[in-house]
A and B are shown apart, each in its own frame.
Chain A
Amino acid sequence: MDFSFSEEQKLFREQVIRFAKKEIVPRVREHDLAGKFDFESFRKLGNFGILGLHFPEDFGGSEADVVTSVVAGEALGEAGVDGGLTLAYGAHTFLCADTIFTHGSKALREKYVPRLASGEWIGCMGLTEPGAGSDVASMTTRAVKENGRYVLDGSKMFITNGPIADVAVVYAKTDKNLKHAGISAFVVEKDTPGFSAGKPLQKMGVRSSHTSELIFENCQIPEENLIGREGAGFLMAMQTVEWDRSALMAPFIGGMTYGLNKCIRYAGERIQFGRPIGSFQAIKHKLADIKIFIEAARTLVYRVAWCKDQGRPLNHLEAAVAKLFVGDWSLKPANDAVIIHGGYGYCHEYDVERNFRDSRLAPIGGGTSEIAKKIISKLM
Chain B
Amino acid sequence: MNFDIDDSIKILCDKIRSLYQEPSDTAGVRFHPSEALETRNGLLKNLKSLSGLGYFDMGIEDGRNSIALARARETMACLSPSLFLSVEMSTRIFGALIALYGSSEQKEEILPALKGGTLIGAVGLTETGMSLENMAMETTGRAMEESITLSGEKPYVLNGPVADLIAVAGKYEAENPGVGFFLVDRASAGLLIGPRISTVGFEGTALSSITLNDCQLSPKSLMGPFEGNEVFTKLRNWEDQVLTTAALGLMRRSYESALKYAREHESGGKPIIAYQEIAFKLAEMLTLLQTSQLLAYRAAWMDETGDREADVLARCAKVFCSESAQDVTNQAMQILGIHGYCSHNRVEEAYRDVRYLQVSGTSSEISRMKIADWIMH
Where the two chains meet, the residues of A that have a C-beta atom closer than 8 Å to any C-beta of B are: 1-5, 67, 260, 264, 267-268, 278, 281, 283-285, 287-289, 291-292, 295-297, 299-300, 302-303, 306-307, 321, 324-325, 370, 372-374, 376-377, 380
B286 lies within 8 A of A300 (CB): no
B294 lies within 8 A of A380 (CB): no
Partner of A267, one of B67, B276, B371, B376: B376
Interface string of B284-307 (1 = CB under 8 A from A): 101100111011011001100100
Distance (whole angstroms) from the CB of B286 to the closest CB of chain A? 5
Cβ of B187 < 8 Å from any Cβ of A?
no
**Contact A3 B1, CB 8 Å, known A370-B280, A377-B279:** yes
A324 lies within 8 A of B283 (CB): yes
Cβ of B227 < 8 Å from any Cβ of A?
no
Q: How far is the CA of A300 from the CA of B6 in the complex (A)?
A: 18
Q: How far is the CA of A306 from the CA of B286 in the complex (A)?
A: 20
Partner of B316, one of A292, A300, A306, A380: A292
Residues on the B chain within 8 Å of A260, using CB: 375
**Contact A268 B376, CB 8 Å, known A3-B301, A321-B287:** yes
Distance (whole angstroms) from the CB of B270 to the closest CB of chain A? 14
B375 lies within 8 A of A292 (CB): no
A300 lies within 8 A of B290 (CB): yes
Distance (whole angstroms) from the CB of B266 to the closest CB of chain A? 17
Where the two chains meet, the residues of B that have a C-beta atom closer than 8 Å to any C-beta of A are: 1-6, 67, 259, 273, 276, 279-280, 282-284, 286-287, 290-292, 294-295, 297-298, 301-302, 305, 312-313, 316, 319-320, 365, 367-369, 371-373, 375-376
Partner of A296, one of B4, B276, B320, B375: B320
Interface centre among A4, A260, A283, A297 (most CB of B within 10 A): A4
B291 lies within 8 A of A291 (CB): no
B286 lies within 8 A of A5 (CB): no
A1 lies within 8 A of B67 (CB): yes
Query: Which 10 pairs between the two chains have the least Cβ-Cβ distance?
Result: A284-B372, A377-B279, A376-B283, A288-B368, A373-B283, A288-B371, A299-B294, A373-B280, A2-B2, A287-B372
A-B contact count (CB 8 A): 120
Partner of A1, one of B290, B292, B295, B301: B301
Q: How far is the CA of A377 from the CA of B279 in the complex (A)?
A: 6
Q: How far is the CA of A373 from the CA of B276 in the complex (A)?
A: 9
Partner of A300, one of B282, B291, B371: B291
Interface centre among B67, B280, B305, B319 (most CB of A within 10 A): B280
Partner of A380, one of B6, B67, B282: B282
Residues on the A chain within 8 Å of B291, using CB: 296-297, 299-300, 321, 325
30 pairs, CB–CB < 8 Å, chain A vs chain B: A1-B3, A1-B5, A1-B67, A1-B301, A2-B1, A2-B301, A67-B1, A264-B376, A268-B376, A278-B376, A281-B369, A284-B372, A284-B373, A284-B376, A287-B376, A288-B368, A288-B372, A288-B375, A289-B368, A295-B316, A296-B294, A303-B3, A306-B1, A306-B2, A307-B3, A374-B283, A376-B282, A376-B286, A377-B282, A380-B259
Give the residue name and chain of the A residue nearest to B290 (CB). Answer: A321
B286 lies within 8 A of A321 (CB): yes
Residues on the A chain within 8 Å of B276, using CB: 373-374
**Contact A284 B368, CB 8 Å, known A296-B320, A325-B287:** yes
Distance (whole angstroms) from the CB of A112 to the closest CB of chain B? 31
Residues on the A chain within 8 Å of B5, using CB: 1
- Given A2-B301, A3-B1, A3-B301, 13 other A-B residues pairs in contact with their CB atoms under 8 A: A3-B302, A4-B305, A267-B376, A284-B369, A287-B376, A288-B372, A291-B316, A292-B316, A296-B320, A299-B294, A372-B283, A377-B279, A377-B282
Q: How far is the CA of A372 from the CA of B286 in the complex (A)?
A: 12
Partner of B375, one of A5, A287, A370: A287
Give the residue name and chain of the B residue nearest to A280 (CB). Answer: B372
Q: How far is the CA of A153 from the CA of B5 in the complex (A)?
A: 49
Give the residue name and chain of the B residue nearest to A267 (CB). Answer: B376
Partner of A288, one of B280, B294, B319: B319
Residues on the B chain within 8 Å of A289, using CB: 368
Q: How far is the CA of A5 from the CA of B3 in the complex (A)?
A: 12
**Contact A376 B297, CB 8 Å, known A287-B372, A295-B316, A296-B320:** no
A5 lies within 8 A of B287 (CB): no
Residues on the B chain within 8 Å of A291, using CB: 312, 316, 371-372, 375
Distance (whole angstroms) from the CB of A252 to the closest CB of chain B? 15
